[in-house]
Amino acid sequence: MGGPRFERVPEPGQAHGPPPEEPPEQQEQQEQQQEPPAPAPGPFGEAAECWNCREPVAPAETHCPTCDAPRTHTVLSCPDLALELTHGPGAPLRLGRDPVWAPATAAAFGALPRISRRQAQITVDPDGSVWVEEPSPPSTNRTYVNGEPVGPGRRARLRDGDELRFGRRIVHFTVRVRGPGGPERDCPGG
Ligand SMILES: [Zn+2]
């Protein structure tokens, strides 16, 4: 009888050799942040990337053929925090430091004690319109759209290019609206 045999079991993570070294971060750079990359031109003109799953979506499609997410969505960009939030129709996107109430954003705002625990929430309606509202009871730091306070008990429309601000000087986002509710279709008043 032969002795014990040893089989060489490949260890996970060894298959591809050491990972390539990442270039050193340029931490000496000034605070000048580069502008976020511009979204693909024209929400309708050409195939765009699905905001949800990154697969291509043809111009005629209203929903992503891969994940069925609607084209309509909003992108909130905050260069100061290197933060970009993308949100589509469905449950509201909650913004604040409360990890239970705002699980998607609490970590990003964790270093900003002046952001309220429950600051604001963003809703994308099925028709593509985008809205912001303050939670009830209203947060200590107000929420502003283009300098106007949203105020408790109402919701304010967000349009492409609007500025969303929390507190007077705490943090601000640039609003982008993509899809049927985007800049190509601005509802005439009334
Ligand atoms: Zn998708």
Mean pLDDT to the nearest integer, 72-87: 90
Write out pLDDT tens, residues 28-71.
444 455 555 554 444 445 677 888 898 998 888 888 999 998 88
For residue 145, the model assigns a pLDDT of 96
Go through the domains of the chain in sequence order and give each one's CATH number: 70-178 (2.60.200.20)
Check whether 125 has a pLDDT greater than 80. yes
Average pLDDT, the chain: 78
Asked whether the whole model's pTM tops 0.85, one would answer no
Mean pLDDT to the nearest integer, 105-120: 89
Q: Which residues of 10-40 are buried (b: 16+ CB within 10 A; e: fewer)?
A: eeeeeeeeeeeeeeeeeeeeeeeeeeeeeee
Least confident of 28-42, 68-82, 146-160: 28-42
Distance 59 CA to ligand 1 centre (A): 14
Distance 61 CA to ligand 1 centre (A): 11
Q: What pairing do the DSSP bridges indicate for beta strands 120-124 and 171-178?
A: unpaired
Distance 39 CA to ligand 1 centre (A): 16
Confidence of residue 139 (pLDDT cuts 50, 70, 90): confident
For residue 189, the model assigns a pLDDT of 39
Distance 138 CA to ligand 1 centre (A): 34
From residue 129, how far is each of 119, 122, 163 by CA, in Å? 20, 11, 16
Mean pLDDT to the nearest integer, 163-183: 84
Distance 62 CA to ligand 1 centre (A): 11
Distance 54 CA to ligand 1 centre (A): 6
Check whether 73 has a pLDDT greater than 50. yes
